[in-house]
């Protein structure tokens, strides 16, 4: 992943592809996902902050598609963006399937420049 252009060259891996992450929620927690299996590498990039106050979440795949999902969270007033870089159609479908119950918005970027423009509001000042 070191061959990714800035700012994705600062990607820090949190979850390996194929790893299931249990969210450790109580049985009565209203969040509809108990956990997910990540189809691609998942982590964050430095210099950008998501709506949850943590470094911006990013999926890194093995294709060419660029996009994002916005997910509902009960601890953020308007949800949280997660961006994806270089995913295949199949990897994108798997991301959408895993996070489907909480996705409030989804989109693709036609170019890397479009993705970079979408990242600007998340850049640390």
For residues 94-118, give the mean pLDDT. Answer: 97
Q: Which of 2-11, 36-45, 62-71, 84-93 has the lowest mean pLDDT?
A: 2-11
Let me know if residue 27 belongs to a domain.
Answer: yes
Share of the chain above pLDDT 90, in %: 88
For residue 14, give its domain range: 8-122
Please state the domain count of the chain: 1
Residue 2 lies in a domain: no
Residue 2 has pLDDT above 60, yes or no: no
On whether the CB atoms of residues 57 and 50 are closer than 8 A, the answer is yes
The reported pLDDT for the residue numbered 106 is 98
Residue 118 tokens read as 């979408």
């Amino acid at each position: 992943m070191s061959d990714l252009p800035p700012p994705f060259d600062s990607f820090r891996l949190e979850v390996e592809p194929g790893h299931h992450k249990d969210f450790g929620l109580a049985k009565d927690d209203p969040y509809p996902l108990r956990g997910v299996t990540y189809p691609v590498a998942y982590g964050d990039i430095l210099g950008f902050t998501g709506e949850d106050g943590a470094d911006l979440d990013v999926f890194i795949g093995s294709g060419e598609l660029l996009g994002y999902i916005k997910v509902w969270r009960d601890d953020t007033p308007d949800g949280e963006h997660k961006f994806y870089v270089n995913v295949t159609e199949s990897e994108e479908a798997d991301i959408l399937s895993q996070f489907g119950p909480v996705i409030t918005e989804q989109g693709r970027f036609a170019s890397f420049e479009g993705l970079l423009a979408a990242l600007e509001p998340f850049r640390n000042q």
